[in-house]
């Protein structure tokens, strides 16, 4: 793993670790529920607090930028990644794309990995991160295997710049691995 990716791993895992317990499952009048957007807002806040310390303040952190109407992104590929690090107005500085999930479901994982794959292949994002909270890497691995056919898994695994960060709960440590470390 190169130095830059190690820095990104440390930055993102520290930000995830700083997201409070109350954001993993939201208490309601009828029980606890998972709300990805609420978790992402706090994660975004933690990223912003740490951005300068990790010397990433030359990049802009954006949340769910609406890609509709973007003249250079094909209509069929206009998705809104959860978070991106880039410089506004240029593809050359598309650095990190991040998708976050709080539920370990097949449909959501397929959609998120399609987004990561499209933006890395076609819009020059250098690194992709999939962050799964409320689940372990073992949980992720099982769902990933079931979510894609063998050919699609191989295609995704071939990309050496997709990293997975899983955090089972607030008290657990982040588990970090590159997707290409999985065997198809």
Encode the chain (184 residues) as per-residue pLDDT tens digits: 689 999 999 999 999 999 999 999 999 999 999 999 999 999 999 999 999 999 999 898 988 665 544 455 554 455 578 999 987 766 667 899 999 999 988 889 989 998 898 888 887 889 999 999 999 999 999 999 888 888 888 888 888 889 999 999 999 999 999 988 876 4
Specify whether the CB–CB gap between 152 and 158 falls below 8 A.
no
Compute how many other C-beta atoms are within 10 angstroms of the C-beta atom of residue 100: 21
Strands 60-63 and 83-86: antiparallel
- Cα–Cα distance measured from residue 164 to residue 49, given in angstroms and rounded to the nearest whole number: 22
* CA torsion through residues 47, 24, 178, 105, sign: negative
Q: In this predicted structure, what is the pLDDT of residue 86?
A: 85
Q: In this predicted structure, what is the pLDDT of residue 122?
A: 83
Q: In this predicted structure, what is the pLDDT of residue 65?
A: 60
Q: In this predicted structure, what is the pLDDT of residue 77?
A: 52
- Cα–Cα distance measured from residue 123 to residue 118, given in angstroms and rounded to the nearest whole number: 7
Task: Pull the structure tokens for residue 16.
Answer: 């995830």
Q: Which 3 state secondary structure label does DSSP give 136?
A: coil
Q: In this predicted structure, what is the pLDDT of residue 91?
A: 63
Query: Helices 137-147 & 106-122, crossing angle to 10 degrees?
Result: 80
Please provide the distance, in angstroms rounded to a whole number, between the alpha carbons at the two ends of the chain: 21
Q: How far is CA 159 from CA 20, 22, 96, 164, in A?
A: 32, 34, 14, 12
Claim: this prediction has a pTM higher than 0.85: yes
DSSP for 37-54, written as a single string: HHHHHHHHHHHHHHHTTT
């Amino acid at each position: 793993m190169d130095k830059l990716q190690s820095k990104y791993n440390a930055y993102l895992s520290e930000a995830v670790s700083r997201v409070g317990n109350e954001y993993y499952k939201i208490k309601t009048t009828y029980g606890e529920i998972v709300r990805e957007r609420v978790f992402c807002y706090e994660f975004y806040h933690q990223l912003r607090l740490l951005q300068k310390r990790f010397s990433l303040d030359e990049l802009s952190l954006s949340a769910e930028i609406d890609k509709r109407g973007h003249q250079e992104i094909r209509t069929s590929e206009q998705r809104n990644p959860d978070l991106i690090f880039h410089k506004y107005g240029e593809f050359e500085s598309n650095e990190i794309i991040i998708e976050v999930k709080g539920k370990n479901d097949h449909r959501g994982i397929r959609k998120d990995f399609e987004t990561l794959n499209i933006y890395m292949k076609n819009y020059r994002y250098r690194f992709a991160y999939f962050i799964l909270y409320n689940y372990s890497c073992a949980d992720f691995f099982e769902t990933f295997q079931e979510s894609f056919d063998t050919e699609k898994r191989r295609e995704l695994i071939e990309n050496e710049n997709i990293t997975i960060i899983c955090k089972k709960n607030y008290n657990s440590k982040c588990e970090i691995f590159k997707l290409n470390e999985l065997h198809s």
